[in-house]
Every structure is written in C-alpha cells, then in structure tokens.
Structure 1
Amino acid sequence: MVLRWEAFLGHVQERGEYESRQEAERVARVVLALLGAHLVGEVRAQLAARLPESLALILLNPLQSAEPLSPERFVRATAAWIEGATEATAAWDVSAVLSTVADAAGDDLLQQILLQLPAGYDLLFGRPRST
C-alpha cells in the first residue's frame, strides 16, 4: 500500500499532535533521512516504493551514518537535527513518523526492516515484539 503525500503527513500530524502540516513534514524528513542511513538494498527500495515520492527520495539519499545507531542514539540524532527539540520531543517525533512508516510498510516488510536495525527499534515503530 502506497500512502499518498497528504495521507502520510496527515497520519504523522495526527499522531504527533502537530499544529501544522509543515511541522509534520519537517519531522518526517529528518526521521526518514536518518532511517535511510540504516537500511540497505532491497528492503530500503521496497520501503521507498510504499512512501510518497518526495519522502522516498529522502529515504534513498540518506544522511551518512558511520555505524548503526541504537534506538536511543537515533532519538538523540533526531533531536540534534530538529531545531528546538529535546530528547523527549524527539522520541515523540520519531514515534509519530515510524508508526506511520510501519503502517505503510506492512508486517512482512516491517519484519525485514527490523532485521537490519539494532535491537529495540520495534518500540520506535510502535510494534513491540513479544519476548
């Protein structure tokens, strides 16, 4: 299922309780740029195919990451890229975007995405794994 631009940002705006669509877009761009640095190959391409085109391009041309970030460092990096953000607000931002990404990806692709990420990202996507 490909989420259209307005629908994707609408979900992010609603989940993040942002006042404007622009705020939702800014957060989505940062989180997807960071996420793209952690995904490779077919998994990244498949996810990009399910996102609105301009967000897919961000995912496919990510910020460079020397190493995979733990979920905590991912949230910290998000805070560093969003003006005025704290770790608490960045955790909220990451959750708003990645839960929307999880919906767009579907369960099978999300499982493949999580295999490429360090442990703990299931919580950021709003899909805690049973232990």
Structure 2
Amino acid sequence: MTWHDLVRRIRAAGRYTTDGEAEDVLRAVLAALGGHVTGEERCELTALLPPEAGAVLAGSIPLTQPLTAPQFVEAVATALDTAPPSARWATGTVLTELAQTAGEELTGRILAQLPRGYALLFGRVELAPAA
C-alpha cells in the first residue's frame, strides 16, 4: 500500500471531499495514536503502513499516562481545530482503517495497551465482563 492509497481509503471511508482533508485527518490521528502504541505492536503496525504513515506514528513520543478514549478524541479535535463530533468521526475512520490493515490479532494487542473505551474507535465491540 502506498501513502496515496491509504489517503484514498481514508477519504472514501470518511467521505472527505479532498485528499488534503483526508491526509490532515490521517496525520492527526496517527500522531495521537503514536503516543499510545509502544513496543512490538508499534513496530509491527509501523511496518504495515506506508513509510510516510509509519514515520508519523513512530515519530510520536510515547505518553507516560495514556489518554482515555474521550480525551484522545479531544486531542484530535484540538489538532484538527474542529468540533468533537467531527474529531470522533475522523478518529473512528482512521482507526477502523488501521484495524483492517493490522488484522484481528495485532488490533487486539494494540487495544490491550489502551484504556477501556477505545474498541469502538477501532470499529470493534468492547464487551464488559459479567458481574
């Protein structure tokens, strides 16, 4: 997959009007995600992405305290200078596409690194343990 292919996938999935808009969304979400995904999962995901996308992901400094899913969306909203509902759409679009690229096993390991609440952003169901 090339950078242009990935941008086109984001554009189509997110129904963005231009490649530039899709590219801005992709960069913002990858930069935010890069602070959360570490170790082997970060290396594996970076290797699956086009070099430009991998560089954005790998170029983020890992956070010492991960953001909750709502805080993550808010960080994307700030980066894009947009409202939270638009940022939620952007985040879900990019993370769902990344999950499709990564596959079930790697996506599961990435989600295991994140606080509860991220699964829906990746297009996955997050079941609560039985009480």
- Place the TM-score, normalised by the shorter chain, in its bin: over 0.9
Cα distance in structure 2, aligned partners of 1:24 and 1:63: 23
Aligned residues: 128
2:97 to 83, 100, 106: 100
> Closer, same or farther in 2 for the Cα pair 1:63/1:25, shift >3 Å?
farther
- Does 1:111 pair with 2:108? yes
**Of the two structures, which has the highest relative contact order with CA contacts closer than 8 Å and spacing of 6 or more?**
1
Q: What is the RMSD of the two structures over their aligned residues, measured on CA atoms? A: 1.3
> Identity percentage over the alignment?
38
1:6 to 4, 7, 10: 4
TM-score where L is the length of structure 1: 0.92
1:25 to 16, 23, 26: 23
1:121 to 118, 122, 126: 118
Cα distance in structure 1, aligned partners of 2:104 and 2:51: 21
- Does 1:51 pair with 2:33? no
1:86 to 74, 83, 88: 83
Deviations 1:6-44 (A, max 9, x none): 221111111111100011011100100110100111110
Deviation at 1:65, TM superposition (A): 3.3
TM-score where L is the length of structure 2: 0.92
